[in-house]
Structure 1
Amino acid sequence: MRSPLALPAPPVLDDYQRAVVEHAGGPLLVLAGPGTGKTTTLVEAVARRIERGTDPERILVLTFSRKAAMELRDRMSGRLGASAPAPQATTFHSFCYALLRAHQDPQDYAEPLRLLSGPEQDVMVRELLAGGAEDARGGRGRIDWPLDLRACLTTRGFADEVRAVLARSRELGLGEAELRRFAEGVQRPDWAAAAHFLADYLDVLDLRGVLDYAELVHRAVLLAERPEVGERLRQRYEVVFVDEYQDTDPSQVRLLRQLAGGGRELVAVGDPDQSIYAFRGADINGILEFPQTFRQAGGGPAEVKVLRVSRRSGAVLLAASRELARRMPMGRLPADKLAQHRALLPSREGGRVEVYTYPTPGTELDSIADLLRRAHLEDGVPWGEMAVLVRAGGRSIPGVRRALGAAGVPLEIDGDDLPLREEPAVAQLLLALRVCAEQAARDKHDRAAGPDPLTTELAHTLLTGPLGGLDGSDLRRLGRALREEERAALRADGRAAAVPRAAEELIREALAEPERLIALDPSHARRARDLGTLLRKVRERLAGGCTAEDALWELWDGSRRWRERLERAALRGGAAGRNADRDLDALCALFETAARAEEQVTGHRSALDLLAELEAQDIAADTLTVRAVRPDAVRLMTAHRSKGLEWRVVVVAGVQDGLWPDLRRRGSLLEADRIGRDGLAEPLSPAALLGEERRLFYVAATRAKERLIVTAVKAPADDGDEPSRFLRELYREDVDPRTGKVLRRTPPVTVEDVTHRPRRPLSVPALVAELRAVTVDPARSPELRRAAAERLATLALAADEDGLPLVPAAHPDRWWGLDDATAAPEPLRSAELPVRLSGSGLEQLENCSLQWFLDKEVKARGAGSAAQGFGNVVHALADEVGSGRTPADLAVLMERLDTVWDALAFDAPWKSQQEKTEARAALERFLNWHVLQRGRDVVATEHGFDVTLDVGGVSVRIRGSMDRVEKDDAGRAYVVDFKTGKEAPTDKSLPEHKQLAVYQLAVRAGALNELPGFEGRVPDSGGAELVQLRKPDKGAPEAPKVQRQDPPDGEPWIENLLADAAGRVLAERFVPRTGGGCDRCTFRRSCSAQRDGAQVVE
């Protein structure tokens, strides 16, 4: 015979745990602080009931998360034996769902009830609000929202407030009629409107066969309160255990009263000091009022027991947490029990608490990375035994993620802390799907109806992302090849002088029409062609009616290189492997979301509908699956998500005043928290908000088993960031009253103001950088330089199992600046053609030839600024007045200005108004100057010219535009250039003003011959003028300042400058020159003459 498998030995319990396990019956509240073994106690209590003869099927264990329920089931199975029946361990929501399904009329729903995820409910509420707002504008509105709220109906913040009112109402058991009567009784028309909205919302839920979480529990409570259903539940369950009782809301307490009220056996385990989910509806009053709510059969209050021994934290850590707890209010529980609960006994000595402040956020993050790396490398703490906790995920996690990732700290971030669309891998697929879907919709209706959704920016993003796989140099080579192709086509068409279009536009067209890339052979052209073909295929499938899920799969299936790269990285492990795993997890979640979205509608949901839903989701998606946590990465999460977890080393980062505690009142518009059980509730006081924030910090600080590190920024400026008061609440100080010196801290906490970044991060890239610096430093000894070089060689030769270098940056072949400068295969300008220049370009070329090259040739200047827009508008209006198309009337000009002003992008409304006032003054000065009798007539405005002349043996082609050309009675020509800048050249520099001199040279070269009034002759130049429209004339403030340049006196200085500039362009000598304009230069960070743009080898 085979002997039965032996059960594991029961754990060793302390006296306080045994008291709970041996509880004889009736309601019991167990106060269980951090690390006191509450889960072990709960499992042993269940096992003890079964040993006493209770049927396992009559024991119910309720908790609040799927992960906790799974852990309880596993531990109970291990304790009772795999073959023994285990009690039911489930979440409140799962229990309620099963209860509803068990009593659901099959005729009411063709499909089983489905639970809405948080993001799905968010989108549904916003859609209903937007529809109601649209109906109201059309006079069809059913919900009478107060006038002062109607403007915000479609905002995301208002939708959040409405969701809070809906949840609060259902938690309190209020239906549409009850909420409306309550609102009328307290004279709150906004709540009355919310009651009508609740009715519409519930109708939509029923129509779609879905429920949100609050509605699920509410309906389960109504069902359990039916006498016959409640009686069956009480007969079925003899004992009910509840874990994390402090997280219950009023509706869940009502459900428990039906399950285990009247003195039945109900064991609730919780900790009022860890009640941190008020924003989800949790009510701390539930646990504080437990003894009165669940009285014993004899009428007395429920018994309260305390688990007093902490097995998690050492004595020092426990003493610090006690310092926090002693500032929390006593509450309504028995004072002696609460005092015992907050005076936990350590199971071991030791532990470290460290508080650091830093001058800047960057210094803080660099130091955190250094602390983690040293804990791993020097103290031997595994990455998976460390965590970084922050107060606000959306605000803090992205920055921490970038900083720690750059420092080589492997990270594991809860997917729930970021909306799905913000995952990098998901964002790429969604971008491609949007382009294809919008193109398919455009083609279906009318291709000419609007612009192509594939813009140059989107084409660049797709090509340089994982779908395209091109880098910046690949894209530049592709752009050059396409420009050469177009240049050849222009020459073949007899338009050799024409300029090819910008490379960005040619690349965009090629991606939309990939057959244009067939003739180009390099690998980057093939990758671009493959991407273009894939996008076209998906676009055609969408036009044919395929689902969003199928389109996403087509994009993923067609991205072979990306898939293979992720697979290789995932198998290789390390930091790249962790990133690949995260990308794959996010993509799986995307496909799951697309599949679920498809199941929710009849027919199929379009790709644009899915994209709109994902874009509308401002909160992270939940999922039915529990993702495995990688053991070789530091956990990064919010303090709220850390509850129930523990690590050897915990960093609580960014504990700033104003952020933690965050004392802003939540839901201050609709005030959902004022909907009370017994009438209008008082709003949460600052003290109550501070209490919840302190409890959250307490939860974060009690996650550490060995070492707690708390960090904050303490800016040197008086008005800069300040640390939170919570840092000082971790310890008490004894201070010498005479000197102010700290004599002792209790507990012994390390407190330090760190004023600098770590000398060198403890990472491989930093080590390589230091070794390289030593190797090339002539001030170091030859022996030290040789030792550094030998270590670099060792690192450079290190390779993985595939032969790939582990530290490629250590090899000299990868060091920037050691190679000789390269030369372009083709000259920038052909020596056989005239060199094209302009007046403004000549001045730029003379001041800084590198700036000219980057601006005029590379076209690297960014989007136009508001100042450029200001000048363009004023110039256009001056042109209309000068040409006679618009009357010289300021009111008319301002009316024309109003039609385009809002299109200018200013940093702030006040700046826009300030500049508009300046524009009015400039136009007024222009009109006063325009009507002034100066003995000259207007010949042309915005006159474009193109002349070629020989200067110094070089053929130069001058192209440009003259703002205004005038002539006097003697037939002399005058060129006027309007200026709208805030700076003007000095009067002393006017004789050598290059732009004006080029204009006068162009006049002599025949630029005005064809204008009426000159009868085909070359007129004499009467001079040129700058009209400074922003600057008043000193003698006549109502007129602009006019700066004149006399006709040339015979000295060919401008010709010499043109010849020198042309020679510089042909020789391709583009070197930077520092000057007064460097601070305003667009290319400062690309300039080797500036510190920002200096090469790393300089």
Structure 2
Amino acid sequence: MRHTEDSTHATSSALPGAGPVRWTLVPPHGSAPERAPWRPSPEQEEIAGLPAGCGPRLVLGGPGTGRTRVLVELAARRIGGGLDPDRLLVLTPSRLSAARLRDDLTAAVSATMSSPPVRAWQSYAFDLLRRAQNQGLLPGVVHGPKLLSGPEQDVLIGELMAGHAAGFGAPVVWPPDLREALATRGFRQEVRELFDRMSEYDLAPDDLRRLARRLERPDWAAAATMQAEYQAVRRLRMPESYDPAALVTEAARVLEEQPEFLRAEQERLDLVLVDDLHEATPSIHRLLAVLCRGRDTVLTACTDTVVQGFRGARPDLLRTLEDRLAEPARPLRRHPLGTSRRMPGAVAEVWQRVAERIPAVAGARHPRALRPAENTPGAADTGHVATAPVDVAVDVPEDGAGDRAAPGEVTTVVLSSPLHEARWIAHQVLERHLVHGVPLADMAVVVRNGRYLEGLERQLSALGVPVSTSAAETPVRDEPAVRPLLGALRIVTEAAAAAADREEDAHFGALTVQAAVDLLSSRIGNASPMDVRRLRQRLRAEELAAGGLRTSDDLLVEALVAPGALDAAGVRSVPARRIARMLAAGTRALREEGATAETVLWSLWEAAGVAESWRRRALEGGPAGERADRDLDAVVGLFESAERYVDHLPGAGPAQFLDYIDNQELPMDTLAARAPTDETVEIMTPATAAGRQWPVVFVAGVQEGVWPNTRLRGQLLGADLLTDALDLGVDQAARVTPVTRMREVRHDELRSFSAAVSRSCGTLVVTAASGEDEQPSEFLDLVDPPGSRPGDGARAVVDAPRPMTLRALVAELRQWVQLHEEDPVRSEAAARLLHRIASSPRPVPGAHPDTWWGAAALSSTAPVFDDGVPVPVSPSRIETIHRSPLDWFVAASRAEAATDLSRSLGSLVHAIAEELPEASGSELVAELERRWPTLGLPDTWESAVQLERARQMLRKFAQYVLDARSKHGRRLASVEGAFSVLVQGRARDALLRGRVDRLELDEQGRYVVVDLKTGRNQPAGAKIAEHPQLAAYQVALTAGAGTAMVAGQDETVLELPGGTVTELSGGALLVQLGTRAKSPSVQQQDPLDPDATWARDLITRAAELVAGERFTARHDQAEGAFNGHGCKLPQICPLCAEGRQVSEP
């Protein structure tokens, strides 16, 4: 819908608790295209002038031959001749096609119609059932009928299967070879397809069981049992609902079983028009046979452009149309149309080559060699196919007003990957629009399936192309604007459930830190990663200032759920306050009596307060406006889903709605109006493109495995076999081979491809990817036959040009600016252009040199530590400083990667060893198991392996403690003691600060430092004698750190020389707990020689290396750089190619 102020109010007021409804008519977006004058051919004139009493007629013709237009003209002439519109019925395959045909008919007639007589097939069947129910002809149906959507049907099947897995419901015995697949989405789709075929043919469960015995299909017997349960549950839960396949079947049955109702309906209708009969299912043919036999009925069809095959369309049934509709006095007459009023010569030739590969249907043949109409673009053009990417043959007028593409151009392009394919299409779209003036709405991209569509949509949007898709392409739960609303609903719902169990206030256990970050960075929160980081830092700073020790994770969660937490911390974060407001409003709404998913969602939406800003942005247009339009449409779709759910299940709560929407893996068609697409390029599948045309059409993804996709569908449960058994008989169906079925699938793929290429009324561009994983499909040869290509006929893989965006332009200009010596003229020209861009009122990011990486001055040239101030040095970091000062600086700046599992595990082991320093192995393991959940690990086999590893480390620690006491005579003096020692140096003094895991006293009264190691690797034994960390500990001991730690004098700064005889070092130990050895490995450094100075020099040299403003990066293995294992910081290391500045060669 167009999101004007009035329409927004109208939408919101239609929701619960929103007050009276206020509707306001607003003008349509943009100017409506003028209705082109109709110049009918003789055969079209014959059809448009059919008189009353003409009987059944079948209009056959290829795409663009005017089948739909002639129906509109026939209806307009009949209404103009006095036919009451209420006595006319026009049927089309889908709601979208019905809307378009309704608009065309309204524009064609001058008479006033209270309700245009155009319906989708399911809509007409629904109306029949509604009127039948009003007359009491539907036993057991008390209220008006409702349509059970495809996604809702999928959810119901999933619930039944989950119940069976838990031991509930009917005993459904599936064959053993299927049991592993029962919980998958694919199996649900197979079940749904089988159920749909049963509904199409009005097949009862008992009938399926009989077929199962004859064809030896035990899975059909299980499906029959489940289908009976499915119908029973549906009637019990939603007695007035009908699934899409059963809806038309039920309407046909009512007409067959109620002759008076049928007679009244036939007397009500003087003329029935049916468009695109090739998309009809068996139940549609059954309905038409009952309603229209021998009566004035005009139908159109083209069996080469079927796009609803995945929904059961059967173009082959047109061969039986005469038997269904004709009577001796009124035979079925056929009217072929062979003049193309859409496709220019080259496009028509491509379509003809594709169509000729499709088997013709007896009784429904139509001309495939189409004649271009005189007023068709490119009618005189015999057509040609360009095998290289060509620009549109359009001259740009001097006044700047662009023209459209030259008609009749067909281009095939092969790119090296789908990513380059998207870049090429984006370049072509923007070039045609910006350079040649082709409106965005005059271009469309057609792809084979929804998965390819989603990827292409993301890529084109990222490349600056305004795109739009149909609402029926994306499940509502996956819409970016819907996810935060559903996430907030889940959090408040689970919190309320937990509170009810404990009989206390809501506990927001469902709000994990990841959920909090997701809400903050969602479409509604709109916080950037930097915003979230700043929020964390502010909360953490306030916590530390207040003397607290909670992590930023805990604080972030509390800030969103605890009343007043943000005010107490003085935080003004708009995203955080918005999310906190939503959660509070949702909690209040959930406590209201009669709360439903609809009412709670509405409270969340109102509290978000983004409706007005999104509406304003949508009206402003541009890419941001298009996104806002789509976001508003998605929210409307969510409320429509919630409304449907509450209507179907009045007693169900928000928690059940969440399960329902989470299980809804299929897109939900919505009746909510969509945002206009006048300023976007539409991306769609052939089903959505059916019945439409564009001057420029891109058909993308034409590679093997994508288009065609010849994978056999519905074979697991044999839906096709069931159809064959009902159509051909059991014996004939059993003889149908997989090769035959694959051929049928290929023909179905050809029909969808035929529909795609025939959407162009001017320029057709077909693209494919060719790389290690992709190869162009055979369909590309139909567009561009090998014999028509120059040379050896091989297709060249084309390079994708840079995106036609300002950012990409800036990047290219910056490259030229830096090549002054190679091309000074171009370099200077690029510099002038960059200056213009950077000086514009809306400068492009990256254009000004002040923002270039490598060109800006250093943020600071001051040393890290002021002169004369001792440099803090940690014993555990001395080795890192000498190996690579840059590594130390990154770690000291807390810029390292997030703590991994190994470090978290080591921290837990150290904490337990600190609190229970003398405990037994069993006591340590018990404490580990008590604390294990605090790591927040998932319950997986990997977590179990890590838990067992931690158990082994603690058992080794207990063994070490026992051995130290019994074998070496050492006793514990202190744990986790801290010290500070001033070590004077020649160039710079060092303040040696550290903390030791264990401090022990040996039999001579000397202190021994014990460092626990939980890593998997240990240093070589030969290096222990000069191990920097252990040596630094011993230097601290000689200064008296042992006595200070025992006395708890952590803040006292000691100096060298110092100490007494009792404070002499007894050595230092590394106790390896994390290695694969069964026992703890103890690596001991003997007491230092009192006359040796190497350890002190190591400390003071480390202070010198990190005291200044520059930090050296080292890779030289001779200096101990990483032991030859590579760089730890390649992204910023100047010695690595990845870490070089962009300004460096």
Q: TM-score, normalised by structure 2?
A: 0.79
Secondary structure (helix, strand or coil) at the match of 2:304 reads helix
CA shift digits 1:482-507 (9 cap, x unpaired)? 333333322xxxxxxxx844334333
CA distance in 1, matches of 2:79, 2:947: 82
Task: State the match for 2:315 in structure 1.
Answer: 284
Give the 3 Å change call, closer, same or farther, for CA 817–420 of structure 1 in structure 2: farther
1:614 to 656, 661, 676: 661
What amino acid is the match of 1:724?
S
- Decide whether the 8 Å contact of 2:870 with 2:990 is kept in 1: no
Match of 2:900 in 1: 864
1:33 aligns with 2:62: yes
Residues matched between the structures, number = 1036
Alignment partners' CA distance in 2, 1:1081 and 1:593: 53
Instruction: Check whether the contact 1:837–1:957 (CA below 8 A) recurs between aligned residues.
Output: yes
In structure 2, what is the equivalent of residue 418 of structure 1?
474
Matching residue's letter, 2:642:
A
Equivalent-residue separation in structure 2 for 1:705 and 1:662 (angstroms): 26
Cα 1:767–1:854 change in 2 (3 A) is same
Please state how far the C-alpha of 1:127 moved relative to its aligned partner: 2.0
Could you tell me how far apart the structure 1 residues matched to 2:963 and 2:570 are?
A: 64
Instruction: Answer whether contact 2:444 2:697 (CA < 8 A) is retained.
Output: yes
The answer as to 2:211 corresponding to 1:210 is no
> Partners of 2:819 and 2:675 in 1: how far apart?
48
- Take 1:389 and 1:141, find their aligned partners in 2: how far apart are those partners? 44
Contact 2:883 2:1122 in 1 (8 A): no
Give distance in 1, aligned partners of 2:621 and 2:615: 10
Distance 1:1053 1:517 in 2: 53
Q: What is the one-letter code of the residue matched to 1:574?
A: G
- Please list, as runs of the form range in 1=range in 2, the aligned pairs for 1:585-604 lying within 5 A after superposition: 585-602=633-650
| 2:829 aligned with 1:763 | no
Say if 1:32 and 1:977 are closer, same or farther in 2 by CA, change over 3 A.
same
Which range is displaced more, 239-248 or 808-817?
A: 808-817
Show the counterpart of 2:599.
Answer: 550
Q: Which residue of 1 aligns with 2:122?
A: 93
Which residue of the partner structure matches residue 802 of structure 1? none
Rate the CA distance shift 1:1006–1:625 in 2: closer, same or farther, 3 A.
same
Question: What does residue 666 of structure 1 align with?
Answer: 713
Whether 1:103 and 2:132 are equivalent positions in the alignment is: yes
Q: Quote how far apart the aligned CAs of 1:615 are.
A: 1.6
Matched residues in 2 for 1:1068 and 1:440: separation? 55
Give 1:620 deviation, angstroms: 1.0
2:776 counterpart residue number: 723
Shift of 1:1071: 6.3
Alignment of 1:457-468 (within 5 A): 457-468=514-525
Letter aligned with residue 496 of structure 2: A
Which letter does structure 2 place at the counterpart of 1:11?
Answer: W
- What is the correspondence of 1:459-478 to structure 2 with a 5 Å cutoff? 459-478=516-535
The separation in 2 between residues aligned to 1:941 and 1:309, in whole angstroms, is 100
**SS of the residue 2:335 aligns to:** strand
Residue 698, structure 1, aligned to residue 728, structure 2: no
* Mapped pair 1:453 → 2:506: no
Conserved 8 A contact 2:865-2:871: no
Match of residue 587 from structure 2: 539
Deviation per CA, 1:857-906: give whole Å up to 9, x if none. Answer: 537533525x6689889999999999784499xxx99x999x99x99789
Contact 1:58–1:87 (CA<8 Å) still a contact in 2?
no
| 1:102-126 CA-partner distances (Å, limit 9, x unpaired) | 1115774453222122222222222
Residues 276-301 of structure 1: per-residue CA shift (max 9 Å, x gap): 3222122232224434544452697x
1:324 corresponds to 2:354: yes
1:1016-1031 alignment runs, 5 A limit: 1020-1021=1065-1066, 1024=1069
Question: Which secondary structure does the structure 2 equivalent of 1:723 belong to?
Answer: coil
CA distance in 2, matches of 1:465, 1:323: 48
Does residue 315 of structure 2 align to residue 267 of structure 1? Answer: no
Shift of 1:851: 4.3
In the other structure, the counterpart of 1:508 is 557
Q: Distance in 1 between matches of 2:286 and 2:469?
A: 36
Q: Distance in 2 between matches of 1:825 and 1:559?
A: 46
- Cα shift readout 1:1048-1086 (whole Å, capped 9, x = no counterpart): 445444444444555666767666555558987776546
Which one-letter code corresponds to 1:639 in the other structure? P
The equivalent of 1:306 in structure 2 is 336
Q: Report matched runs for 1:85-234 at 5 Å.
A: 88-104=117-133, 108-136=140-168, 141-150=170-179, 152-207=181-236, 208=238, 209-226=240-257, 227-234=259-266
Q: Offset at 1:526?
A: 6.0
Is residue 2:614 matched to residue 1:573? no
Does residue 251 of the first structure (1) align with residue 283 of the second (2)?
yes
Residue type matched to 1:313 in 2?
M
Give the C-alpha shift of residue 309 in structure 1.
Answer: 1.5
Residues 355, 751 of structure 1: 8 Å contact kept: no
RMSD: 4.8
DSSP 3-state at the match of 2:786: strand
SS for the counterpart of 1:103 is helix
- Report the Cα offset of residue 154 of structure 1: 4.1
Q: Is the 8 A contact 1:28 1:305 kept in 2?
A: yes
Which stretch has the larger CA shift, 689-698 or 993-1002? Answer: 993-1002
Structure 1 pair 844/689, CA: closer, same or farther in 2 (3 Å)? farther
2:265 alignment partner AA: L
1:170, CA displacement in angstroms?
Answer: 0.6
Offset of residue 173 of structure 1: 1.0
Q: Residues 861 and 1109 of structure 2 are in contact (CA less than 8 Å); yes or no, is this contact kept in structure 1?
A: no
Amino acid aligned to 2:144: P
1:711 to 744, 747, 767: 767
- 2:153 touches 2:243 (CA, 8 Å); kept in 1? yes
Contact preservation (8 Å) 1:27, 1:264 = yes
Quickly say closer, same or farther: Cα 1:242–1:299, change in 2 above 3 A. Answer: closer
Q: CA deviation at 1:167?
A: 1.0
Which of 756, 760, 785 does residue 732 from structure 1 map onto? 785
Structure 2: distance between partners of 1:853 and 1:500: 25
1:496 aligns to what?
Answer: none
The 2-side partners of 1:931 and 1:480 are apart by: 44
Give 1:673 deviation, angstroms: 2.3
Q: Distance in 2 between matches of 1:942 and 1:180?
A: 79
Tell me the equivalent position of 1:443.
Answer: 499
- When residues 125 and 84 of structure 1 are mapped into structure 2, their CA distance, relative to the original with a 3 A threshold, is closer
Contact 1:514 1:533 (8 Å CA) reproduced: no
Q: CA deviation at 1:989?
A: 4.9
Task: Write the letter of the residue equivalent to 1:753.
Answer: V
| Distance change (3 Å), C-alpha of 1:230 and 1:855 | farther
The corresponding residue for 1:3 is none
Contact 1:276–1:695 under 8 Å retained in 2: yes
What SS class does the counterpart of residue 787 from structure 2 fall into?
A: strand
Q: Trace 1:562-961 onto structure 2 (pairs within 5 A).
A: 562-602=610-650, 605-676=652-723, 677-678=726-727, 679-680=729-730, 681=733, 682=736, 685-715=741-771, 717=772, 720-734=773-787, 742-743=790-791, 751-754=795-798, 756-758=799-801, 760-774=802-816, 778-779=820-821, 787-796=829-838, 798-799=840-841, 805=842, 807=844, 810=847, 820-822=857-859, 835=872, 837=874, 839=876, 841-852=877-888, 854-855=890-891, 857-858=893-894, 860-862=896-898, 864-865=900-901, 885-886=920-921, 944-952=976-984, 953-961=989-997
| 8 Å contact from structure 1 (residues 234, 258) kept in 2 | no
Q: 1:612 to 1:1087 in 2, by over 3 A?
A: farther
Mapped contact 1:314–1:706 kept (Cα < 8 A) = yes
Structure 1 residue 714: Cα displacement? 1.4
Q: 1:354 aligns with which of 398, 401, 411?
A: 411
* Residue matched to 1:4: none
Gaps of 5+ in 2: 1-33, 384-407, 1047-1059, 1116-1120
For residues 927-1076 of structure 1, what are the structure 2 equivalents within 5 Å? 944-952=976-984, 953-961=989-997, 975=1010, 981=1016, 989-998=1023-1032, 1000-1001=1034-1035, 1020-1021=1065-1066, 1024=1069, 1047-1049=1087-1089, 1051-1061=1092-1102, 1073=1114, 1076=1122
Code of the residue aligned with 1:766 in structure 2: it is A
What secondary structure is seen at the aligned counterpart in 2 of 1:387?
strand
Distance across 1 between alignment mates of 2:132 and 2:511: 52
Deviation at 1:13, TM superposition (A): 1.4
Matched, 1:401 2:493: no
Change (3 A) 1:1067 1:599: farther
In structure 1, how many angstroms separate the alpha carbons of the residues matched to 2:1124 and 2:454?
33
